[in-house]
């Protein structure tokens, strides 16, 4: 734990330390009451050099019909210090916050001033809240789906059958198309995977270096056919993988890769009539 | 015809010949436990024991990340602006920390949400709520990702 004397709130390093302390505090607020799940933590009204910081915490669970504000809390609480810097926690239920948001209530304005999202649980958050706090967890145009190996493919004779098998499980891969033929029979795109970190879950481009540890690529190298089934029922056969340096793809993904290398997959649409009978 | 667990495991050099250079020398007990579990994992894979492979591989993922993150506390603290390793949390948290601070440095391994889900198959209700062939799907993936993780960690923290 950093010592108070090391904390220079006016520098960028100082801000990082402050962020780390606030994240530690957010961690402590995640689990005290199992009836409430922390869905969003926002550091708002950020100003360097300020002794007191503000956190907004929104919880999923029974409605809380008001904002509850805590006494200011020392951020070095873990070290037993009662001195600065401090944080004041403003907590509310998601429902209540959303209601106020839809009413465009002016009392929410302070929460949107100079804010930074420290934690979010996307699955618990309403689209309006995600948008208002600029939480973008997936790139535009992302289609999500599943890998179907040759064995599974042969088991199901219809798209309905495949969807019935997969639709209830979490999507395991994503695709941002980079090109599609005019007849929609062929396309290619950047492979994505869902990655969690301490702040939330994000759909990010698949690392080319990690590709060989994946089932689709392994099957492909072994000469076995593989398929992608996307939400909604689009079914494609994998034609080939390509790892390419493509700085222009930075605009298509949420987080540009440092080396500009992306995993691109080439696909051909598969129609139910092409599937063998079980 | 898909790959058997045995054949996948045979291709995983870090499972069969673990170097574990990322474990600090003074953490002998950590090394012992991980080595023991790896031996059991290889045996289970050779016997095509899917569920055992998933659970054990998840367990070793957690042990490896625990040991690695604990030993990299200072490294994370510098990048984050303060960090204290919490030994009381579990795989999901360790993966989150790893992804935030090491994903760019160790791009050869991708720890996904799915790996946490697979590890949770240890809970009966989780398996009941999953597709029927979840174990057949998860076991090869867990072997491959664990092999990759051990290789990457050793490369990051091992001798130059």
Strand partners, A149: A226
Beta carbons within 8 Å of B69's beta carbon, 6+ residues apart: B76, B85, B94, B97, B98
Q: Are A211 and A147 in contact (CB under 8 A)?
A: no
Last residue of a domain, one of A105, A132, A159: A132
A54 beta partners? A44, A88
Chain A residues whose C-beta is within 8 A of a chain B C-beta are 1-2, 13, 15-21, 24, 78, 149-152, 165-166, 168-170, 172, 193-199, 201, 206-210, 213-215, 218-219, 222, 224, 258
Q: Whole-angstrom Cα distance, residue A115 to residue A155?
A: 51
Assess whether A118 and A150 both reside in one domain. no
Give yes or no: residues A159 and A192 share one domain: yes
Q: Which of A132, A159, A188 is the last residue before a domain boundary?
A: A132
Q: Picking from A34-38, B21-25, B49-53, B114-118, which range would have the lowest pLDDT averaged per residue?
A: A34-38
Cα separation, A257 vs A249, whole angstroms: 9
Does A92 share its domain with A152?
no
DSSP annotation of A185 reads S
pLDDT of amino acid B135: 94
Indicate the range of A59-68, A143-152, B46-55, B133-142 predicted with least confidence: A59-68
Q: Among A169-183, A261-275, B13-27, name the one with the lowest average pLDDT.
A: A261-275
Phi, psi of B41 (to 5 degrees): -65, -45
Give the Cα separation of B16 and B126 in Å (integer). Answer: 30
Which one of B1, B77, B113 has the shortest CB-CB distance to A201?
Answer: B113
What is the least distance, in Å, from the CA of A17 to any CA of chain B? 4
CATH label of the domain that carries residue A80: 3.30.460
Pair (A128, A215) in one structural domain? no
Interface contacts (A, B; CB < 8 Å)? 97
Is cis: bond before A85, omega within 30 of 0? yes
CA angle A133, A125, A136 (to 5 degrees): 45
Same domain (yes/no): A149, A191 = yes
Do A114 and A155 lie in a common domain? Answer: no
B148 pLDDT exceeds 50?
yes
- The whole-number pLDDT of residue A1 equals 41
- Check whether residue A128 and residue A171 sit in a common domain: no
Test A197 with B96 for CB contact under 8 angstroms: yes
CB contact under 8 A, B112 and A194: yes
On chain B, the residues whose CB falls within 8 A of the CB of A15 are 81
| pLDDT value for A68 | 85
| Mean pLDDT value across chain A | 89
| Domain total of chain A | 2
Instruction: Name residues whose C-beta falls within 8 Å of residue B21's C-beta, 6 or more positions apart in sequence.
Output: B153, B154, B157, B158, B159
Distance between CA atoms of residues A169 and A4, nearest Å: 47
- With tokens 């009381």, the residue in question is B88
Interface test with A, best of B92, B110, B133, B139 (most A CBs within 10 A): B110
Q: What is the mean pLDDT of residues A158-171?
A: 88
**Angle, in degrees to the nearest 10, between helices B50-71 and B28-46:** 160
Out of A91, A111, A132, a domain closes at: A132
What is the rounded average pLDDT of the residues B117-139? 91
Strands A173-180 and A68-69: unpaired
Question: What is the span of the domain harbouring residue A152?
Answer: 142-274
Within-domain flag for A24 = yes
The Cα B32–Cα B36 span in angstroms is: 6
Is the pLDDT score of A259 beyond 80? yes
User: What pLDDT, on the 0 to 100 scale, is given for residue A10?
Assistant: 55
State whether A127 and A147 are in the same domain.
Answer: no
In a domain, A137, yes or no: no
Which of left, alpha, beta for A99 (phi over 0: left; psi -120 to 50: alpha)?
A: alpha
Looking at B39-48, B75-84, B140-149, which range is the least confident one? B75-84
Measure the CA–CA gap between A71 and A82, rounded to whole angstroms.
12
For residue A251, is pLDDT > 50? yes
Query: Is the CB of residue B73 less than 8 Å away from at least one CB of chain A?
Result: no
Per-residue pLDDT for B68 more than 80?
yes
Per-residue pLDDT of A191-201, as tens digits, reads 999 999 888 99
Contact yes or no for A17 and B131 at CB 8 A: no
Q: What is the pLDDT of residue A207?
A: 94
**A164 and A231 co-located in one domain:** yes
**Are A115 and A226 members of one domain?**
no
Would A48 be classed as within a structural domain?
Answer: yes
CA nearest to B93 within chain A? A198
Residue B74 near chain A (CB below 8 Å): no
User: Per residue in B4-58, pLDDT tens?
Assistant: 999 999 999 999 999 899 999 999 999 999 999 999 999 999 999 999 999 999 9
Query: What was the pLDDT predicted at A2?
Result: 43
User: How confident is the model at residue A8, as a pLDDT?
Assistant: 54
| pTM for the model | 0.85
- CB contacts, 8 Å: A207 with chain B: 103, 107-108, 110
How many other C-beta atoms can be found within 10 angstroms of the C-beta atom of residue A106? 8
pLDDT band at A54 (very low <50, low <70, confident <90, very high): very high
User: pLDDT for A132-153, tens place per residue?
Assistant: 999 999 999 999 999 999 988 9
Q: What distances in angstroms separate CA A190 from CA A98, A216, B149, one per listed residue? A: 34, 14, 23
Cα A161 versus chain centre, distance = 29
CA-wise closest residue to A197 among A94, A118, A123 = A118
Q: Are residues A128 and A149 located together in one domain of the fold?
A: no
Q: Is B2 within 8 Å of A165 when comparing Cβ atoms?
A: no
Judge whether A260 lies within some domain.
yes
Residue A188 shares a structural domain with residue A241: yes
What are phi and psi for residue A146, nearest 5 degrees? -140, 155
Among A172, A198, A219, beta carbon nearest to B114: A172
- Report the complex ipTM: 0.86
Task: Enumerate the residues of chain A whose CB falls inside 8 A of the CB of residue B146.
Answer: none
Of residues A62 and A130, the one with the higher pLDDT is A130
């Amino acid at each position: 734990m950093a010592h108070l004397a090391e904390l220079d709130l006016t520098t960028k390093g100082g801000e990082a330390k402050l962020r780390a302390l606030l994240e530690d505090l957010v961690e402590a607020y995640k689990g005290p009451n199992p009836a409430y799940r922390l869905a969003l933590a926002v550091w708002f009204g950020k100003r360097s050099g300020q002794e007191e910081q503000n956190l907004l915490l929104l919880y999923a669970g029974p409605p809380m019909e008001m904002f509850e504000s805590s006494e200011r809390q020392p951020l070095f609480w873990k070290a037993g210090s009662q001195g600065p810097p401090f944080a004041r926690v403003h907590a509310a239920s998601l429902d209540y916050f959303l209601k106020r948001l839809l009413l465009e209530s002016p009392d929410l304005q302070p929460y949107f001033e100079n804010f930074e999202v420290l934690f979010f649980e996307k699955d618990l958050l309403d689209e309006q809240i995600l948008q208002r706090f600029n939480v973008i967890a997936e790139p535009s145009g992302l289609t999500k789906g599943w890998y179907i190996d040759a064995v599974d493919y042969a088991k199901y004779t219809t798209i309905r059958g495949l969807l019935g098998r997969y639709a209830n499980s979490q999507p395991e891969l994503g695709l941002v198309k980079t090109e599609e033929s005019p007849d929609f029979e062929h396309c290619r795109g950047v492979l994505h995977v869902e990655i969690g970190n301490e702040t939330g879950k994000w759909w990010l481009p698949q690392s080319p270096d990690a590709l060989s540890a994946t089932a689709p690529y392994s099957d492909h190298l072994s000469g076995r056919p593989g398929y992608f089934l996307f939400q909604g029922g689009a079914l494609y056969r994998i034609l080939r993988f390509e790892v390419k340096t493509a700085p222009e793809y930075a605009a298509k993904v949420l987080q540009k890769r440092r080396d500009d290398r992306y995993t691109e997959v080439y696909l051909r649409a598969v129609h139910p009539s092409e599937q063998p009978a079980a | 015809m898909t790959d058997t667990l045995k054949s996948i495991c045979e291709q995983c050099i870090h499972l069969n010949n673990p170097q574990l250079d990322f474990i600090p020398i003074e953490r002998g007990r950590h090394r012992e436990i991980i080595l023991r579990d790896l031996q059991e994992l290889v045996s289970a894979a050779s016997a095509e024991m899917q569920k055992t492979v998933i659970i054990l591989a998840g367990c070793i993922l957690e042990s490896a990340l625990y040991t690695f993150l604990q030993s990299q506390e200072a490294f994370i603290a510098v990048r984050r602006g303060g960090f204290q390793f919490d030994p009381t949390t579990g795989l999901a948290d360790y993966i989150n920390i790893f992804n935030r601070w090491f994903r760019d440095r160790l791009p050869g391994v991708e720890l996904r949400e799915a790996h946490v889900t697979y590890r949770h198959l240890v809970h009966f209700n989780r398996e009941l709520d999953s597709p029927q062939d979840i174990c057949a799907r998860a076991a090869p993936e867990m072997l491959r990702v664990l092999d990759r993780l051990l290789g990457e960690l050793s490369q990051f923290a091992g001798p130059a």
